[in-house]
Amino acid sequence: MPRPRAPIAEPLAGTPAATKAIVERARETVRAVAPEAEEVACHSRKPSSPSMMWKLFRYVAHGEVVVTIGTFTKHASMFFARGRELGDPQGILEGTGKDLRYITLREPKHAAGARVGAIVREAFALADESAQRRIAGA
């Protein structure tokens, strides 16, 4: 049986003071780029170790998770499920996994910057293209 979704304000309760403004700015960036995306509160618990990430929000378009916002004790991150497919001329994407890439956000202004916005926009464009291909193939 699926768990009920947490109210959106709940994941921010207890967010480290040093990162709360970063997370809020990252949410604003995603909502500005993709206002139609579904914001889903993650059900992860506050980590017991400062080196562990606390997943807060996922953004879904066309049934596909596009980006997840999480926080650590002193910084936040945006994780892109199809990050390997994203262009990154400024070199801000990190990670070497099969698909996932992330951006480390150390200040609120980083989350609202044009470089982050461009990557978020491209990530949602990939989801839109996938949905269009599924529709055309149906």
The pTM of the full predicted model, rounded to 2 decimals, is 0.86
Closest CA to 83 of 72, 63, 68, 71: 68
Number of domains forming the structure of the chain: 1
- Whether 79 is in a domain gets the answer yes
What is the per-residue pLDDT across 58-82, written as a single tens digit (0 to 9) for each?
Answer: 999 999 999 999 998 889 999 999 9
For 73, left (φ over 0), alpha (ψ -120 to 50), or beta? alpha
Residues of the chain with pLDDT under 70: 1-11, 138
- Whether 4 is in a domain gets the answer no
CATH code (residue 108): 3.90.1150
Q: Which helix (DSSP H) or strand (DSSP E) does residue 66 occupy?
A: strand 64-71
- Which residue range(s) make up the domain with 124? 9-137
- Whether 3 is in a domain gets the answer no
- Whether 2 is in a domain gets the answer no
- Whether 22 is in a domain gets the answer yes
